[in-house]
Amino acid sequence: MAQYQKITPPTNGEKIHKNADGSLAVPDNPIIPRIIGDGIGPDISAATAHVVEAAVKKVFGGKKQIVWFDVHAGEAAKEKYDEWLPDDTVEAIKEYRVAIKGPLTTPIGGGIRSINVALRQILDLFACVRPVRWFNGVPAPVKRPDLLDVVIFRENTEDIYKGIEFKQGTPEAAKFIKQLKSDFGKEVREDSGIGIKPISVFGSKRLVRMAIQYAIDKKKPSVTLVHKGNIMKFTEGAFSEWGYQVARDEFPEQTITEADVWEKHNGKAPEGKVVIKDRICDAMFQQLLLRPDEYSVLATMNLNGDYLSDACAAQVGGLGLAPGANIGDDYALFEATHGTAPKYAGKDMVNPGSLLLSAVMMLEHLNWDDAARLIVDGMEKTISAKTVTYDLERQMEGGRKVSTSDFAKLIVDKF
């Protein structure tokens, strides 16, 4: 067991292990490290825990339970450890593998740039996973928000996140431009800034592998590889090619390409097979607006996924309800996608939906799908009844405003 300086793991739970095939061995009482978060973190974390505990109890009748292990980051850690991201916290996530976090204040000046980015890098959480779906009753800007139900797997470590830049007018940029001409015969305007975005076989394949495995496990109909390969063949185009390769080499029985569906099966995918297709990113945007129900799991490079995640969330009524997770081969961290909203801290007022739906993703990750479904169902009924927190109430005709904690209680009442 790891040695901790200022925290003590609970004694009434067990560790999640990894099986030889990479799947998780989840005990009935898994210890889950939890970062409550800053600002509104305590409000939404309390509401989330209340709903999750009630759902697990209802579904498993006390046979299973989550054992929270409170670990610290952000302002709470600064107070307790005089550090924004203590080793204890990182060690705990490594030891227990699956963790959940509320929003954290981004430190201003000195030391660490962003705790979220640091966690992602230290734990090699290479996939940012964002499920986006509509909840009945949430005002949305499109006519049929109900048709969108996608899970976006966005690569977290390459592309512009590994972007190398040389500022316009610097000797480095000048040298680079000169060398591009002398060594490679490539013309670039002399007054250019330069940016490089690397895309590797390793980074692309592990992301697509995770997306395909998810589609298989959760019985999703398709995985779409999103790229701009018509223009950038050796980065964007390669991402798509390597994605098809993973499907062909590693999942030949469980997948089929869209081309084969048309050529060999008259356009109808054989039962139980995940269809692998690709779309140029601009067409993808358009399709998600016009024919959203033709898409399910999306696998994207970093920048394309950035736009798409937020655009999809906006399409179903905003970012307030959007959950997220950062997942790697060894660890998974589920988190609210919004910030700490400090002006609402402690007011029991904000929407706990983003963190709660992240907890739903966590339950699905543990394969406790029935508990996950119960929560989504309860949340759907609560929102449909127009009992919502202030952010949704102000956009809803006839809505009734409830507090964070009451919203959680209303969800549990529906179980």
Residue closest to 361 by CA, chosen among 373, 350, 352, 351: 373
Binding residues vs ligand NAP (CB under 6 A): 40, 44, 103-106, 116, 320, 335, 338-341, 350-351, 354, 391
Which of 220, 228, 277, 381 is labelled catalytic? 228
310 as an active site residue: the answer is no
Burial letters 140-163, b for 16+ CB under 10 A, else e: bebeebebbbbbbbbbbbbbebee
**For residues 121 and 192, which CB has a smaller minimum distance to ligand NAP in the complex?**
121
Query: What CA–CA distances, in Å, run from 365 to 34, 266, 360, 362?
Result: 16, 35, 9, 5
**Phi-psi domain of 221 (left: phi exceeds 0; alpha: psi -120 through 50; beta: other):** alpha
To the query of whether residue 161 is one of the catalytic residues in this protein, the response is: yes
User: In whole angstroms, how close is the CB of 232 to ligand NAP at the nearest point?
Assistant: 29
Nearer to ligand NAP, 104 or 208 (CB): 104
Nearer to ligand NAP, 236 or 391 (CB): 391
Which two tokens mark 169?
């007018």
Amino acid of residue 415: F
Q: How far is the CB of 78 from ligand NAP (least distance, A)?
A: 13
* Unique residue bearing structure tokens 């910030």: 339
Reported as type and span, the H/E element at residue 183 is helix 171-184
In Å, how far from its chain's centre is CA 341? Answer: 20
Distance (Å, whole) CA 414 – CA 383: 11
From the candidates 87, 124, 260, 306, give the one annotated as an active-site residue. Answer: 306
Catalytic residue, chosen from 43, 96, 159, 161, is 161
**37 or 243, CB closer to ligand NAP?**
37
Q: How many helices (DSSP H) and strands (DSSP E) are in the chain? A: 14, 17
Minimal distance in Å, beta carbon 289 to ligand NAP? 24
Residue closest to ligand NAP when measured from CB atoms: 339
Choice among 28, 70, 217, 282 that is catalytic: 282
The whole-angstrom separation of Cα 338 and Cα 150 is 19
Least CB distance from residue 330 to ligand NAP, whole Å?
21
Closer CB to ligand NAP, residue 216 or residue 321? Answer: 321
Which of 364, 356, 326 has the alpha carbon at shortest distance from 53?
356
- Nearer to ligand NAP (CB atom), residue 91 or residue 391: 391
Nearer to ligand NAP, 133 or 277 (CB): 133
Minimum Å distance from CB 351 to ligand NAP? 4
The residues that bridge with 33 in the sheet, in sequence order, are: 69
Is the CB of 40 or the CB of 90 nearer to ligand NAP? 40
Residue 297 near residue 277 (C-beta atoms within 8 A): no
Q: How far is CA 263 from the centre of its chain?
A: 34
Check: CB of residue 292 under 8 Å from CB of residue 145: no
Q: What is the CA radius of gyration of the chain?
A: 22
Catalytic residue list contains 331: no
Q: DSSP secondary-structure letter at 107? A: P
How far apart CA 1 and CA 9 sit, in angstroms, is: 10
Least separation in angstroms between residue 46's CB and ligand NAP is 13
- Whether 282 is a known active-site residue: answer yes
Q: CB 219 → ligand NAP: shortest distance, Å?
A: 30
For the CB of residue 312, give the shortest distance to ligand NAP in the complex, in Å. 18
Q: Is 122 exposed, middle or buried (0-12, 13-18, 19+ CB in 10 A)?
A: middle
For the annotated catalytic residues, the residue numbers are 161, 228, 282, 306
